[in-house]
Chain A
Amino acid sequence: MKRFLLFALALLVVLAVSVYRAKLGAQSSHEEIAKIEAEIARLEQELAVLRAEEAHLERPDRIGPLAKDHLGLERMSPDQYVDIDALENDPRLAPKEAPQ
């Protein structure tokens, strides 16, 4: 009887300690989550700023002149469209014969 009591007591202590440790672990995880959430909020803010900056830098009245001056790009003209049937008959696109 006395041994059983001792055993139960020891088990109780072990359980109490493990519950306490689990609790501590949960608490530190909690803190970790809060930290990560704060980090996410901060990064989201940063992302919003960067997106706004990107949109500002990509606005057409800025990109248009840059594309023209630095890349030599021009607006598309109707001449640049080709009918798909016309392509099939274009001699330039005919398959070349392999050299013998």
Chain B
Amino acid sequence: MMAPVPDNAGGPSAAMEDRWAPMRAYIVAGALALVFGVIGVRAGQVSLAGVAEASGGDRAEAPRRADIVDRNGDLMATSLTAYSLFADPRAIWDAGDVAAGLATVFPDLDALDLEARLSNRERAFVWIRRGLTPRQRQAVFALGLEGLGFEEESRRVFPGGALAGHVLGHVNVDGRGAGGLELAYEDRLAAGGDPLELTLDLRVQHALEAELQFAADAYAPIGAAGVVVEAATGEIRAVASWPPVDPNRPGASGAEARLNRATGAVYELGSVFKPLTVAAGLDAGALTPSELFDVSTPLQIGAAMIRDDHPIDGAATLTDIIAHSSNIGTVKVAERLGERRLKSFYETLGLLSRPDVDLPGAARPLAPAEWDRLANATASFGHGLAVSPLSLAMSYTALANQGEAVAPRFVAPGPYEEVERRRVMAAPTAAFVMHMMRAVVTEGTGTRAEAYGYEIAGKTGTAEKPGPNGYDKDRNICSFAAVFPASRPEYVVLITLDEPRPLPGEGRTAGFNAAPVAGRLIARIAPLLDVEPVLAAPRSQPSGVRAVSDKRAL
């Protein structure tokens, strides 16, 4: 049984409590409201201000290095994400198992050596391999081995291998350009974005390198170089140096192979200078196209005696002098012209200064210290003056362009960029010299350069290399400088072989080695370069040839 509880059990003290009750309620309610208010405001803040700080994305990341493509958009250099594989030996139980597993992915891996390294529990970090492709990484993942990790890095890849290796250059371990166009355009490439478009044509480049390899197999030179340049624009379609280098493995080739013989080395190139000397003489008005020269007797200049290997009997025309490469005749032209005029003509052609080109390591010519009468005479046929094959090829653009020279360029011009041309000789002079060079191939020293349908005009050059005891007859630099097609010149080609050996029963001069290589090359690249063959004889004579005697001289 329960006793009834009175409604008001308190008494006076209970009444006191009642007086404070509303106050307490207000305090509690106020505190609660404050807490909820804070929570509400904070919740609102969080839900509205959002999670921006968590989403990331503003981490500064270096852009992917821009690709390099040829003029047709074919890829020459690209950057791929590569992975470096490392291991933590302390996290590996069975080093032998891991090593054996990795050896299945990398057949050239030394499993025993790796096992020994992975067994060393004192180390926390062991590099296993760098530069893995995504596929290799996937394959390692698939093994499911313990204690392995990957680090992501960027790797420069040249899919063509050694193709254009010298001119492209390479990148160092930090991914920065180190040589060639990779260095020249470092800032442009490092900024990422659109591919860098070159003037090179991958197919022509391949043809040039293949023909240099052919020449290397046939004549066993110590080096070789080749240039193909579009005469009207100075755009380099191909430039190569043999032996080749693979930019994917820049450390694998020696200094001999790394030298870019087309742009970074200078040679006394010999008789390929003769058309330029004759052009200088004609342009200065020091001689006339129909003039005859007596080249039958050697010429004494100071202490030196100028001779011809195959003397021309009787009077020789300028065309004979070029076609049969007469030193005596060329020196007579140089004598007529004088030191000042020949030197300044070479200067205008850019043969006495570093070529104006955005390629690192473009060589400066070696000119005689004093341009005296003897230096003038020898320079007129390409001795005592050493220039790079690129420089010489560029000087021939003036002959091909009706007297206007252009600067070499490796990177495609912008849409509104104009080609800068310098007039270095009158158009008739260039036309006349072109005809003389055509005669070199039809009846002179360069007949083996002829390629049916492409009207090759050119000049052979066989220079003896300077040795300890003067010039060495057995060590030659053989070149063939060509322009084609002669009646409407489009391209200049230069082939240079350093110390080619003669084929059995054949001569050692350029007509036997550099000339046929140039001819083979032109027959191969002309269709790639969209040069239409010249099948019918040109109907009109060029403007430079008017007199009847001039026609006979052709």
Q: What is A's interface to B at a CB cutoff of 8 Å?
A: 16, 19-20, 23, 26-27, 30, 34, 37, 45-46, 48-49, 51-56, 58-61, 64, 75-79, 81, 83
Q: Which residues of A contact B159 (CB under 8 A)?
A: 52-53, 55-56, 59
Cβ of B392 under 8 Å from chain A: no
Cβ of B442 under 8 Å from chain A: no
Tell me the nearest residue of chain A to B528, going by C-beta: A76
Within 8 A of A (CB), among B58-79: 64, 74-76, 78-79
Q: Are B74 and A26 in contact (CB under 8 A)?
A: no
Q: Are B75 and A51 in contact (CB under 8 A)?
A: yes
Interface residues on B, range: 35 or more
Q: Are B210 and A49 in contact (CB under 8 A)?
A: no
Question: What are 29 A-B interface contacts by the 8 Å CB criterion?
Answer: A19-B48, A20-B47, A23-B50, A27-B51, A37-B57, A45-B80, A45-B134, A46-B134, A48-B79, A48-B80, A48-B81, A49-B134, A51-B75, A52-B75, A55-B160, A60-B202, A60-B203, A60-B207, A61-B163, A61-B206, A61-B210, A75-B523, A78-B452, A78-B533, A78-B535, A79-B453, A81-B532, A81-B533, A81-B535
Q: A19-B48, A34-B55, A53-B159 are in contact. List 16 more A-B contacts (CB 8 A).
A: A45-B80, A51-B75, A52-B78, A52-B80, A54-B75, A55-B74, A59-B163, A59-B202, A59-B206, A60-B203, A60-B207, A61-B210, A75-B524, A78-B453, A81-B453, A81-B535
B379 CB to nearest chain A CB (Å): 38
B104 CB to nearest chain A CB (Å): 22
Encode contact with A along B73-92: 1 for CB under 8 Å, 0 otherwise.
01110111100000000000
Chain A interface secondary structure, helix, strand, loop or mixed? helix
Q: Which residues of B contact A23 (CB under 8 A)?
A: 47-48, 50
Q: A19-B47, A23-B50, A78-B454 are in contact. Are A52 and B157 (CB under 8 A)?
A: yes
Bound complex: CA A25 to CA B292 (Å):
94
Cβ of B507 under 8 Å from chain A: no
Q: Which residues of A contact B206 (CB under 8 A)?
A: 59-61, 64
Q: Which residues of B contact A52 (CB under 8 A)?
A: 75, 78, 80, 157, 159
Bound complex: CA A68 to CA B523 (Å):
17
A35 CB to nearest chain B CB (Å): 12
B439 CB to nearest chain A CB (Å): 21
Between A16, A53, A59, the greatest number of chain B beta carbons within 10 A of the residue's beta carbon is seen for A59
Q: Which residues of B contact A34 (CB under 8 A)?
A: 55-57
B246 CB to nearest chain A CB (Å): 13
Q: Which residues of B contact A27 (CB under 8 A)?
A: 50-51
B81 CB to nearest chain A CB (Å): 5
Q: Which of A20, A30, A48, A54 contacts B55 (CB 8 A)?
A: A30
Cβ of B161 under 8 Å from chain A: yes
Q: Which residues of A contact B48 (CB under 8 A)?
A: 19, 23
B186 CB to nearest chain A CB (Å): 20
Encode contact with A along B295-315: 1 for CB under 8 Å, 0 otherwise.
000000000000000000000
Cβ of B527 under 8 Å from chain A: yes
Within 8 A of A (CB), among B33-55: 44, 47-48, 50-51, 55
Bound complex: CA A55 to CA B57 (Å):
32
Q: Which residues of A contact B44 (CB under 8 A)?
A: 16
Cβ of B549 under 8 Å from chain A: no
Q: Which of A26, A45, A53, A79 contacts B50 (CB 8 A)?
A: A26
Tell me the nearest residue of chain A to B76, going by C-beta: A55
B161 CB to nearest chain A CB (Å): 7
Q: Which residues of B contact A26 (CB under 8 A)?
A: 50
Bound complex: CA A49 to CA B132 (Å):
12
